[in-house]
Structure 1
Amino acid sequence: MIINFATSSDTPVIHDLMIKAFMEYKNDIPPSSALEETVQSVSYAFEKGEKAIIAYEEKQPVGMVRFQLKDEGLYFYRLSVIPEKQGTGIAKKILKSLETYAAKINVSTILCKVRVTVTKNLQLYNSIGYHVYDEEIVHKPNGITIKVVSMKKVLS
């Protein structure tokens, strides 16, 4: 597996991987907002300083994560692995490369937010050293609420 930093020309690939991975949440109430994103919105985020890492197997993109540097640490989101490759360790490898990058730039904390209903992601992050440090209720239109936990890992 090869894991590379994305460039702005990779935004169509980033968007494609994200849509494929997040389609499983299309029937959630509400569906993941990732499904509302466009190549243009990903490109715009890149222009505003967002970064991403893409994982390739046999030169084919199989996963990615988007992230930003914030005051409190490196914040990642939209971790995506194509459905046929989920459960094979790709997400862990992507996150490990994110940790390596964070350490290299002297950032000691990695953070993310997870819907409480997505237990497989909570378990994944927990299994590699993340812990819940906050929870909140996100209010969406039409009175819909989503319970979300904030997780973090402090690098040693």
Structure 2
Amino acid sequence: MLIETQDAALLHHIMQQAFAEYRHDASPSSALDESIDSIKLELHNGMRAFVWQHQQQTVAMVKTQWRQDVLYFARLAVLPSFRGQGHVKHLLAALAKLALTHGYTAMECKVRAEVSRNVALYQGLGFVCVASETVHKENGTAVPTLTMRKALRESMNNPF
């Protein structure tokens, strides 16, 4: 079940657990730099966040920006012990249904190009690469990044 939340501590907890595997990368995910206060500020400034519950347990989260032409999502995070169980697909399908009810026709995210399993995950859900860029982090590290987009179907029963 997709539930909108303002619980910055819960969002932070899930994000830290999910992105911990990148802590020792040459260029660790900036998700690890986020704090409860930074998430509260984002929520205050219009970012909307959702959690995914399975059997009354919160197992995933996602941040969203409802832009004029597309629903952009970021920091999609699944607790490690719940990965590989279809939660990303179900969360994104529920988010797509919500987006369609508000007149959105596409969803978009950015993915690190070198994390091939994430690129493959989104491609398997019908997302296509629409842009490629190199993001330069504060420490000077270059991070190749793909923008991936999915057109949403009008069918509310199966937007994917």
Q: Same fold (TM over 0.5)?
A: yes
Return the alpha-carbon distance in structure 2 between the equivalents of residues 57 and 155 of structure 1.
24
Query: Which residue in the other structure is 1:63 paired with?
Result: 60
Query: Which residue in the other structure is 2:158 paired with?
Result: none
Q: Shift of the alpha carbon at 1:3?
A: 2.2
Q: How does 1:6-155 map to 2 (within 5 A)?
A: 6=5, 8=6, 10-155=7-152
Q: Shift of the alpha carbon at 1:64?
A: 0.9
Mind listing any 5+ residue stretches in structure 2 that lack a counterpart? 154-160
Q: Shift of the alpha carbon at 1:142?
A: 3.4
Mind listing any 5+ residue stretches in structure 1 that lack a counterpart? none
Contact 1:99 1:110 in 2 (8 A): yes
Distance 1:142 1:66, change over 3 A: closer
Contact 1:13 1:61 in 2 (8 A): no
Q: Shift of the alpha carbon at 1:62?
A: 0.6
Contact 1:81 1:91 in 2 (8 A): yes
Return the alpha-carbon distance in structure 1 between the equivalents of residues 139 and 92 of structure 2.
35
**TM-score (normalizing by structure 2):** 0.92
Contact 2:2 2:95 in 1 (8 A): no
Q: Deviations over 1:83-129 (max 9, x none)?
A: 01111101111111110011000000101000011111111110111
Q: Deviations over 1:46-71 (max 9, x none)?
A: 00111111112332211011101113
Q: How many residues align?
A: 153
> Please, what is the CA RMSD of the aligned residues?
1.0
Query: Which residue in the other structure is 2:3 paired with?
Result: 4
Return the alpha-carbon distance in structure 2 between the equivalents of residues 33 and 80 of structure 1.
13
Q: Shift of the alpha carbon at 1:141?
A: 2.8
Return the alpha-carbon distance in structure 2 between the equivalents of residues 34 and 41 of structure 1.
11
Q: Which shows bigger deviation, 106-115 or 140-149?
A: 140-149
1:70 aligned partner, one-letter code: R
Return the alpha-carbon distance in structure 1 between the equivalents of residues 129 and 64 of structure 2.
19
Give the percent of matched residue pairs that are identical in Structure 1 and Structure 2: 35
Larger helix proportion, structure 1 or 2? 1
